[in-house]
Amino acid sequence: MSILVGRHTRLVVQGITGREGGFHAAAMLEYGTLVVAGVTPGKGGQTALDGRVPVFDSVHRAVAETGADTSCIFVPAAGAPDAVMEAVDAGIRTIFCITEGIPALDMVPVVQAIRDAGARLIGPNCPGATSPGQAKVGIIPGSVHREGRVGVVSRSGTLTYEAVQAMTDAGIGQSTCVGIGGDPIIGTTFSDILALFAEDAETDALVLIGEIGGDAEEQAAGWAAEHLADIPKVAFIAGRTAPEGKRMGHAGAIISGASGTAQSKVDALEAAGFRVAGSPTELPTLLRDAGYAG
């Protein structure tokens, strides 16, 4: 089993004829993801990826013609909010927005509209999700993964790759790896993903990768303390040496007072039963110390 994406996923790539969209759509298709359609306004009737994927002018048309149920968005920041709304209006219920640089205020009404529609947005500014051996949606390199039973959720793209590679090298596979994005306004939180993993019969342990800024990790720790007491769980928090008030990497990685500091997150996670690593490469050892035998 997997969460969010799997063998059943029928993917439409919005922005498939652009450089980034085309490159990553090809990688998704090569991995085994069922990429059934692309969307670029004005290029309907053409094909992409050497004729393997039909291109449509709208998501509505792509859904009607191909039965697409999941979208991955590679649309420039100025048009990305509208691209998300187009996907929702077309009936897509799982949407990954890879685009970075979208103003936070532009995302506020979009996130609310997503919730009102009963859909799920992952991102923006996220790397996507991979269920190893089944499908990958987004930009996470397929080569770092190994099939297994550890769920991974992260705010950071590159740290995700490093952590997953360390797990794979140690012989620890993943059930699904999800990057939720590092912007201040995102559609899906740590707690949301932990809840999905909690219901997945094929996820036996958890890895959470966070960073300074905001209180999403503390909220996730509170949820895990109540609902995930008996599952092995480990975490890593990036930005322990970041100076207060200075942006570090993601737009959401800003410390303000006591809230959002690395130490406050570490304290909350440890209180919830997470073993917190000093570096991503320590995660495999901590997983086994926590009782994971996979």
**Which residues participate in catalysis according to the annotation?**
250
Token pair belonging to 65: 């013609």
Helix (H) or strand (E) holding 11: strand 10-14
Q: Edge-to-edge strand order for the sheet containing 120-122?
A: 47-48, 53-56, 34-39, 10-14, 70-73, 94-97, 120-122
CA distance 92 to 125: 19
Pairing of strands 47-48, 53-56: antiparallel
Q: Is the Cβ–Cβ distance between 145 and 132 less than 8 Å?
A: yes
The SS3 of residue 38 is: strand
- Residue 272 per-residue DSSP state: T
